[in-house]
Chain A
Amino acid sequence: MYAFDIERPTTVADAVEALKADEAQPLGGGQTLIPTLKARLAAPSKLVSLGNVKEMQGISIDGDTLRIGGATIHATVATEARSRYPGLARLASKIGDPAVRNRGTIGGSIANNDPAACYPAAALASGATIITNTRQVAADDFFLGMFETALDEGEIVTAVSFPIPEASNYQKFVQPASRFPLVGVFVAKFADGVRVAVTGASEGGVFRWTEAEQALSGTFAPDALDGLNVSEDGMINDLHGDGEYRAHLIKIMTGRAVKAAS
């Protein structure tokens, strides 16, 4: 790693101030950033650790939404969200491995927008709101492409607010070496319709499968997907699976998620 300093502010305001330094970068749980630094793919002058910011910790119920602080680790979501939003808790319980879940944070996952990360699928399928130090952004407007989000320089994901669906399920077809999904599908059924978000598959990152949403909003059953097909155009082609395979998996995993949620 190149040399850098680490600051550990205790408030969002101090973190934002610290991030104004040249080449400063926020540090969540570091489960992606630290390997990136080791590979010398990033060279910040300073890391601003968000782990000590109390106001970004923990889970609360806010009306009919679940609000999760940006610095909340996956292990906490896996246990504390279980009674209110079991689909989301189950997703969190399957990220990485136990030690990774004790460090990795939801804010880090959302802000990094890895094209195979799990949380962006939950945020997009739930119609979540991404709360930052300056504004609130709908998930539909937040995830812009592979490793690309609507975040400005120095802007921090302080919380994510999830509307709680009537039923939900996340199905992840694991790439066993990395434990990231080769394809992951989050299905969320709300009173006014169904949302389906897909991760791991597209070169554009997480996306909504709108044809499946329309079909499932009519009939919430795996059969509703009969006749639908995902095009392999724009799907990720790599040594783990080609675009055609990933496109096929999207339909299969969506069907499984609907079955598990019904």
Chain B
Amino acid sequence: MTKVTMTINGKSVSRDVEGQTLLVSFLRDDLHLTGTHVGCDTSQCGACTVHVDGKSVKSCTMFAVEAEGAEVKTIEGMANADGSLNVMQQAFQDHHGLQCGYCTPGMVMSATALLKDNPKPTEAEVRKHLEGNICRCTGYHNIVKAILAASGQDVSAIAAE
């Protein structure tokens, strides 16, 4: 066992973990932060996407000990301080960017990382960015629309499709 200490959603957390403990297992099983989902467990689907030091990563393909000293943000840390949905989360609700909801935490984390680097992406850039996040319900249209809306762009033209 190795002791790891990291900041998760603003709170410092220390635990003993085994070398092979994945970051996603640490979040879900040790800390009960079950908002981060395991979809494929083979780094294809992106349901487990979280932010480590501000960068999106697949938490099923990173060990917990590799996040030693890091700032980790999960879907549980995304809401506004008063508990209301943040701009991205609200946009997903407003534009029906989710159906079963399984991929949604990863989608929101990935989309948030995109807007941090590229505040006004084109539709093509949004679609390209989501290559590593798979959704089997929506057909992506409404997810893309939600992300463009969250970036403050007019999505009425896309709504006509």
Contact = CB atoms under 8 A, between A and B. Distances in A.
Interface of A: 1-6, 8, 27, 30-31, 34-35, 37-38, 46-47, 49, 51, 75, 96-100, 102-103, 177, 179
Interface residues of B, number: 29
Given A99-B43, A100-B132, 11 more contacts: A2-B20, A5-B19, A6-B65, A8-B66, A34-B61, A38-B41, A75-B55, A98-B113, A98-B132, A99-B56, A103-B61
A47 B22 CA distance: 14
Contact of B57 (A1, A27, A99, A179): A99
Contacts of A3: 18-20
A3 B110 CA distance: 31
A221 B92 CA distance: 48
A35 B43 contact: yes
Contacts of A1: 20
The interface centre, meaning the residue of A3, A100, A177 with most chain B CB atoms within 10 A of its CB, is A100
Interface string B53-88: 001111001110110100000000000000000000
Interface in B125-161: 129, 131-133
A98 B46 CA distance: 10
A4 B20 CA distance: 6
A42 B161 CA distance: 48
Contact of B43 (A4, A27, A34, A75): A34
B89 interface: no
B61 A31 contact: yes
B117 to A, nearest CB: 9
Contacts of B52: 102
A31 B22 CA distance: 13
Given A38-B42, A96-B132, A102 B55 contact: yes
B14 interface: no
B129 A4 contact: no
A99 to B, nearest CB: 5
B2 to A, nearest CB: 7
Interface in B25-67: 41-44, 46, 49, 52, 55-58, 61-63, 65-66
B14 to A, nearest CB: 16
Contact of A8 (B41, B56, B65): B65
Interface in B93-122: 110, 113-114
Contacts, number: 77
The interface centre, meaning the residue of B18, B43, B110, B129 with most chain A CB atoms within 10 A of its CB, is B43
B62 A30 contact: yes
B100 to A, nearest CB: 21
B19 A100 contact: no
8 contacts: A4-B19, A6-B66, A34-B61, A35-B43, A49-B66, A98-B56, A99-B56, A100-B61
Contacts of B49: 99
A47 B64 CA distance: 13
B57 to A, nearest CB: 5
Contacts of A51: 66
Contacts of A6: 2, 19, 63, 65-66
B66 A102 contact: no
User: 9 closest A-B pairs (Cβ-Cβ)?
Assistant: A97-B132, A6-B19, A102-B55, A97-B131, A5-B19, A1-B20, A99-B56, A99-B58, A34-B61
A47 B58 CA distance: 19
A100 B58 contact: yes
Contacts of A179: 131
Nearest to B133: A97
A159 B70 CA distance: 25
A104 B1 CA distance: 25
